[in-house]
Structure 1
Amino acid sequence: MNTAEVFGISLIVFWGLMYLLRKKLEGKGFQIYPFLLLWRKNTRSEWFPKIARSNWYKLFEKIGVGLGIISLISGIALIFYVISEFISPKAPQSAQLRLEPVIPGVTIGINQLPYILLAIGISVTLHELAHAVSATSNNVKVRSGGFLFLIFFPGAFVEPDEEEYNSSNYSVRLKILSAGLAVNLILAAIFFPLAIYLPPMLSQGLQIVGELKNYPAYNSSIPVNSIILGIDGHSIHTSTQLETYLHRGGIQTLTLLFPNGSIGNVSVNISDPQHLLGVYLTYYFPPFIYSLLDFIIWMFTINFSLALFNGAPLIITDGGKVFNELLKKLGVNEKTSYLIQGIITMLFISAILLSINPLQ
């Protein structure tokens, strides 16, 4: 039995237990639905009032409305772009942009699940917290809040007082709705450069993950999974550094950490006109660095996804509510807004179905 099967069975057992214990859990404030667990509690009416009413937060809210609209437009554009890629492909199928759902053991490895859950938990909590603080900033009471668990994804929510929210003006509603989207977009912007620039900075060498026959590495009997630590006495951390030294050609000495844990030197003859070693490489890090980088990558991925897909007008999303407000301001009735959102939602589902590409 593989890990994906174990995960699937564990999930079924978990939700089976939730169903059996639903009466006891409902007595403690939980609500149990098929594959959805909710815990709701009345909460304080104001959240961090000093921050909420500060000048810098007022500025953030104004910028946040712009970021919320950017998220909405970008979400729509991405959905249409993915659909167009499948209708009229301009690149090989493997290079097409996809909207694959996160399914452990199917579209991603089970080993990534802890980082995904941590990133989702942090990102969604900060998203909802921004809604609550913006409600306080605009004198709308927060009625309740809570946590949810959907299939295996954690989440959070806050609920402003419905009467006060509906009676507030257009700009107030936009600020409250856009605050969460803005936080996710800002977090994505913070973690993107970290994901790009940290790996070469933290690299301890280059791991050989594949070799080409009849090239120097293969001819020198260098084992796959060996780690290149240096060349001719120079430390190597990036492929660019390695290419610089290989370009000199001739016989060169690689310092390697072998799969068995030993360190040694191997001479290679770089006689190919293109000065190729004939290997496929990836960065090598100590184990805790791999964990850090996985978390950073998922923080970017989750926040970017939340900003675009929660920003897209998909009926139940923040973007759908922002879309309603914008069209209402233009004199378009709510029925038409929901019709447009329904069409975009169907396109979004179609893009996901076209994108699913299970792990082999």
Structure 2
Amino acid sequence: MDTLQALQFYAILFVVIWAVAFLLKDKLKIEIHGPLLMRKTTRMRGLIDRIAQRHKRFWKWTMNIGIFVAFFFMIVMVYFLLNSLPSLFTAPQASLILPGVDLPGSQIKFPLGYTILALITVMIVHEFGHGILARVEGISIKSIGVLMLAILPGAFVEPDEEQIKKSKRSSKLRIYAAGSVFNLMLAALAFIVVIGISSFAIPATFHDEGVKIDSVVPGSPAVGVLKEGMVLESVNGVSTSNFTNYQKELSSIKIGETVTLVTDQGVFQIKTEKNPNNSTRGYIGIRSAVNMEINENVANVYGNQLPWAWVYLKDIFWWIFLINFAVGTFNLLPVKPLDGGLMLEEVLKYKLSDKQIKPIINTISVFLILIIAVSVIWGTGRGLLLLFS
């Protein structure tokens, strides 16, 4: 699915979902609040309660450590955003997770299937984390449900807010930290799986054979010349058998230079343009990876299809790691109503009054939201302009 098809898919999906929501809102018990759709249920509360009560001490002590982990990543994320200010209008660092959409200038393309699967794990793990710790702390769960903000899906666990307000500060911190820390725990487990597959299964099953084009960036010089799946054999006469040499050669090309690429499907020449994220560097517009071939001894036993399951498995866990880590750390920003904002507010209450805390939290929230909004809007808007120009 190319970028235009993906955008059309989202437009159709938006119309279908909202049409169904309006027509069947009473039958399906869907609540509509402006651009937000919600459906609440009391199911799954028993499961959350059982998980919480069977391992109550474990969850409490795990989340005591999790509070410190959460504040560490809160500091890291604030530093990351402040450090991005000099390049805010040249190479925006924040972006929307839009599965299947590849915009010019985007740092990464989120594949449709893997990203949707990863987002499902994000929502389930995050909300179950809040729910489990709420029950550990004796807080009732009023409802569980799914939501849709325009076309962005989500899930929620609704604890009793009045009971949370009356609970101890340490209990609140554990509950607030739980969602993001659960995401980080899943990210760590997924990363371990990726390292294991990459270190043992893949080297035993495959060998490197040049460089493969993973995708061609829309609106780039490579469009209409190179294709996804092509295997690069050399760039400007430099062999691509070594991926490091390939990256070094690609980083040395100049703006306006004619680059000669030898592939398994012929020889092509492309005139480079200005890199959307670095105006001093040349740009072809391809995303590449090491091309892998199945080892002969493996192919003789398992054929030419089954061994690729290792690659698909590695990719699934890689995206589960990346998106859980990204969403988990984003939620730890000291911005209300994110988890990090609620945690910072509770910590400040140790020494400050509500009257003093409110302007501090509001100022931090507005400042950080402004950075994120500019980065996302500018990066997405610029990408759309480059795509249709």
2:229 corresponds in structure 1 to none
Deviates more, 1:47-56 or 1:60-69: 47-56
| Percent identity (aligned) | 22
CA distance in 2, matches of 1:20, 1:58: 44
CA distance in 2, matches of 1:193, 1:46: 27
**Equivalent residues of 1:71, 1:307 under 8 A apart:** no
Alignment of 1:114-133 (within 5 A): 114-133=113-132
Of 304, 314, 317, 1:296 maps to 317
Q: Does 1:312 align with 2:343?
A: no
Q: Which amino acid aligns with 1:47?
A: I
**Equivalent residues of 1:328, 1:334 under 8 A apart:** no
Of 58, 61, 67, 1:59 maps to 61
| Structure having the higher Rg | 1
Q: Which amino acid aligns with 1:139?
A: G
- Cα distance change, pair 193–98 in 1 and its aligned pair in 2 (3 A): farther
Residue 190 of structure 1 and its aligned partner are, at CA, apart by 2.6
Residue 138 of structure 1 and its aligned partner are, at CA, apart by 0.5
Q: Does 1:352 align with 2:371?
A: no
CA distance in 2, matches of 1:317, 1:333: 16
Q: Which amino acid aligns with 1:71?
A: F
**Equivalent residues of 2:51, 2:132 under 8 A apart:** no
Alignment of 1:186-335 (within 5 A): 186-196=185-195, 198-201=197-200, 202-203=202-203, 204-209=206-211, 210=232, 211-214=234-237, 282-284=290-292, 286-331=307-352, 332-335=356-359
**Equivalent residues of 1:145, 1:157 under 8 A apart:** yes
CA distance in 2, matches of 1:16, 1:152: 9
Q: Does 1:31 align with 2:31?
A: yes
**Equivalent residues of 1:46, 1:141 under 8 A apart:** no
Residue 23 of structure 1 and its aligned partner are, at CA, apart by 3.3
1:79 corresponds in structure 2 to 81
Secondary structure in structure 2 of the residue aligned to 1:146? strand
Q: Which amino acid aligns with 2:49?
A: F
Of 347, 366, 370, 1:342 maps to 366
2:174 corresponds in structure 1 to 175
Please report the TM-score for the alignment, with normalisation by the length of structure 1. 0.71
Residue 86 of structure 1 and its aligned partner are, at CA, apart by 4.8
In structure 2, stretches of 5+ residues that fail to align are 212-231, 245-262, 266-287, 294-306
Residue 144 of structure 1 and its aligned partner are, at CA, apart by 0.9
Secondary structure in structure 1 of the residue aligned to 2:363? helix
Please report the TM-score for the alignment, with normalisation by the length of structure 2. 0.66
Deviates more, 1:132-141 or 1:78-87: 78-87
In structure 1, stretches of 5+ residues that fail to align are 88-92, 218-223, 229-237, 241-257, 261-279
CA distance in 2, matches of 1:197, 1:46: 31
Residue 309 of structure 1 and its aligned partner are, at CA, apart by 0.8
Residue 74 of structure 1 and its aligned partner are, at CA, apart by 1.9
**Equivalent residues of 2:190, 2:321 under 8 A apart:** yes
- Cα distance change, pair 346–205 in 1 and its aligned pair in 2 (3 A): same
Residue 291 of structure 1 and its aligned partner are, at CA, apart by 2.2
CA distance in 2, matches of 1:156, 1:83: 32
CA distance in 2, matches of 1:31, 1:345: 27
1:105 corresponds in structure 2 to 102
CA distance in 2, matches of 1:36, 1:66: 33
CA distance in 2, matches of 1:198, 1:119: 18
**Equivalent residues of 1:117, 1:153 under 8 A apart:** no
2:48 corresponds in structure 1 to 47
Q: Which amino acid aligns with 2:95?
A: E
**Equivalent residues of 2:122, 2:183 under 8 A apart:** yes
CA distance in 1, matches of 2:18, 2:148: 14
CA distance in 1, matches of 2:8, 2:32: 19
Q: Does 1:142 align with 2:141?
A: yes
Please provide the CA RMSD for this pair: 3.2
- Cα distance change, pair 138–338 in 1 and its aligned pair in 2 (3 A): same
